[in-house]
Each structure stands twice: as structure tokens, then as C-alpha cells.
Amino acid sequence: MTATSSLGGRNGPTAPARGCDCSACPFFSENPQAREPVCSGTNTDCWYCGCARADGAAGNTTKCGQCPVRCGSRVDIDAWMADIGDTVTFDDVDLAGQHELLDASVLRTRFIPQVDTRELAGLDHGLHWPAYAIGLRRILSAETGAMLPGWSRNTAHAALGLRSDQRAVLVCYGTDPDVECFWTRRHRLIAQLAEHEWDLVLAPNYSQYGNHPRAEMLINYRRNLLVCQEMLDAGIPAVPNLYWFRIEDLHRYQDWLDCYRPRAIAKNLQTLRRDTSWDDIARPGLTYLAGTMPPETLFYACGASRADRIGELRDLFGDRLRLVSQNPIMYARHGAVMTSHGRDDVHARTPDAFAANVRHYADLVAGDTRRA
């Protein structure tokens, strides 16, 4: 179910202003006529903008309709706004279903390795890890957006060959084409995912880029929450991904978290690997969240692999931290193991290297540096 806003309909659709014109934008905080004053203005760097109007071809609507970015100049912006409920606020997105759908046993697992195969028997032999994750592109076709063979009529546990005491986790993070395809087909795909009986799903991540129009960010922040709500409404134990770019974004999340107090939230850190991104966006926002979110809310981080950054996350979130990472299998495929001194190319068998890497990262999350 897509939430709707009382702001739409009565006064027409709420949509960003054409040409990123803040003075006429319903989201600009300094516009006295703004219906939703949640934005402090345009981004300073919008070089990505490649719309037909920017090219001086105002009549070229074909290119505009194919643009991957949502802004007020799009010919179909009203349709996009209607699809998200004619609002970019969070006030109506209630994830209360998390509390009854999220299983306590999967929530207790502090480190969840993300794997690249359904053949888990060999990897898990002797390890008996309580939960495994698999990525979106391992279950959906990039070409058709349809469920891959082996997933269309199967439970996640059966497809992955898990024991009854192990938990199946789906990470719906992917490339922009993958998650956009998911959004377009989400009603059918969500129904199929519900049939899989996943124990935990990290809901899709709709991107933010500093060189995109601000409207694109605002729309995607809401989509990240909405798609999670729609999953929960279908009985899927989903956790939303949060992105932020400015302090005002974090203030809005704080109000939303205080109001609804979700059982868990998540953050895809895979796109913040550079030190500048970590220092300018990740660390300040994570620090803010850690200090303001409800103490009972768990925090799932995906993509952090460096020991120092995992240490930062542990210091910030303590026992609330949960980590999902592909690194154990990525290193193991090359016969490498991670140690307290870094990567060691020992040419180990993949299962042996994988088991060592899983234990290493679990120790990092737990703060046990004796083995890590």
C-alpha cells in the first residue's frame, strides 16, 4: 500500500519547481508559500543534469522522459509524485509491522556474511553460522527484472539449503537500474518475495548523489521508507535504508524515529568508501543517528569492511550494531584471509578461508581484538 498525503489533490499535486527554482518550490524552507518546507535549497554541484532543457532543446520531451533523474522539469514529474503519495515528508510512513515480523533469532546475529552462491553446504561445513545473506542480483534477472530460476516457486530456506535453525537474509541493495526496475515492478516482486519467507530483508536503496538535483534526493529518501512499508504490509520482515546529505535530513529522520520507533534501520555504506565521503557524509550522520535514535532500535550497516571503520561503528552503536558484509566470500574466492594485520594471501581452500574470514569479522563487530 502506498501512503497518500492530504497535501495532494485539494490544491493540486505537490511537486518540485521547474528549473530547480527555489522561489517557487513547495519544498524550499524560505518560500513563504511552501507546502512542505523541508529543503534549504539547490545543490551546489548539479553537473550531472543532462536534461533536454539544459541542452537548449526545450521541445525535446523524449530525452526528458528517459532521464534517470527526477526533478521539477520532468514532463512526468506529477506522475512520479503521485506514485510516492504527493509528498516528500515521512510523517505518514509507519513501520510498526517490524515489531511483530522481525524474528528475535535473526536480530541476535551481529555479523551476517553475504554470499554469492546458493551452494552453501560446502561454505557452511564446520562453521554452522546462524544467518546468511544473499544480494538482489542473485535472485532477479538484470535483463528482465523477473525472478531467476530456482526462486520463483521456492522458499529462501529451501533455495539456499539452510538448516531449520539458520536464517535467510535478502539484501536488496543494487545498482540504480536494478533498484529502479524493482520499484517499477515492486507490487509483483514484493508478492513473490513474501512467498520466499525471508527472515530479514534489507529494503532497496534509492540513491543520492551530490551532483543530482535536490528534488531527486528528497523523492528517494521517501521511496526508501515507502518500499519498506509496502514490504511490511505484505508480511515481509523488512528494514529501511536511510540516506542523508544535509543536517536537515537527519533532523527529519530524528522526528520520524522519535514518533514511530522502528525495531531496526539500515545504512548502505558501500558508496561511501572514500575517506572524503566517510569524513564528510558518513561519520557526521552516523554520529548524529547514534546519539538521537531510540535506544531499542538496531542499526544494520552494510558495506563497512575496514577494521577502523567497523571499530567506529561499534563505538557509536555498541550492542545495537549489526553488520552485513560480502568481504568474507570475496577474499575467500582468492584464497585470502583477513587478520589483524590485514589481508593474507595464503592460497587457502575457499571454505577454509571463508570460515576464517567470517570469524574475523564477527570478532571485529563484537570488539574481540584478540583474534581479530
The answer to whether residue 336 scores a pLDDT higher than 70 is yes
The answer to whether residue 281 scores a pLDDT higher than 90 is yes
On whether residue 51 sits in a domain, the answer given is no
Q: How many domains does the chain have?
A: 1
The answer to whether residue 3 scores a pLDDT higher than 60 is no
On whether residue 237 sits in a domain, the answer given is yes
On whether residue 362 sits in a domain, the answer given is no
Instruction: State the sign of the Cα–Cα–Cα–Cα dihedral 286, 287, 290, 291.
Output: negative
225: containing domain:
98-325
User: What's the pLDDT at 19?
Assistant: 83
On whether residue 125 sits in a domain, the answer given is yes
The pair phi, psi for residue 158, each rounded to 5°, is -70, -40
**Residue 64 — pLDDT band, cuts 50, 70, 90?**
low
| Beta strand extents in the chain (DSSP E only) | 111-115, 131-135, 167-171, 200-202, 238-239, 264-268, 298-302, 321-325, 336-339, 342-345
Order of strands, edge to edge, in the sheet holding 167-171? 238-239, 200-202, 167-171, 131-135, 111-115, 321-325, 298-302, 264-268
Q: How far apart are CA 291 and CA 274, in angstroms?
A: 24
The answer to whether residue 4 scores a pLDDT higher than 90 is no
The pair phi, psi for residue 300, each rounded to 5°, is -95, 120
The pair phi, psi for residue 231, each rounded to 5°, is -65, -45
Among all chains, which residue has been given the C-alpha cell 543494487? 174
Any idea what the CATH number is for the domain that residue 244 is in?
3.20.20.70
Query: Which of 13-17, 144-148, 153-157 is least confident?
Result: 13-17
Q: Using one digit for the tens of pLDDT, what is the confidence trace for 223-271?
A: 999 999 999 999 999 999 999 999 999 999 999 999 999 999 999 998 8
Nearest to 138 by CA among 119, 110, 166, 122: 119
Q: How far apart are CA 250 and CA 78, in angstroms?
A: 26
The answer to whether residue 17 scores a pLDDT higher than 60 is yes
Q: How far apart are CA 277 and CA 269, in angstroms?
A: 10
On whether residue 339 sits in a domain, the answer given is no
On whether residue 120 sits in a domain, the answer given is yes
User: What's the pLDDT at 236?
Assistant: 98
On whether residue 3 sits in a domain, the answer given is no
Q: How far apart are CA 247 and CA 30, in angstroms?
A: 16
Mean predicted confidence (pLDDT) in 77-90? 94
User: What's the pLDDT at 340?
Assistant: 82
Nearest to 221 by CA among 252, 183, 193, 190: 252
User: What's the pLDDT at 53?
Assistant: 55
User: What's the pLDDT at 69?
Assistant: 85
On whether residue 59 sits in a domain, the answer given is no
The answer to whether residue 67 scores a pLDDT higher than 80 is no
Q: Cell numbers of 79, please?
A: 506522475
Q: Cell numbers of 15, please?
A: 511537486
Q: How far apart are CA 33 and CA 17, in angstroms?
A: 12
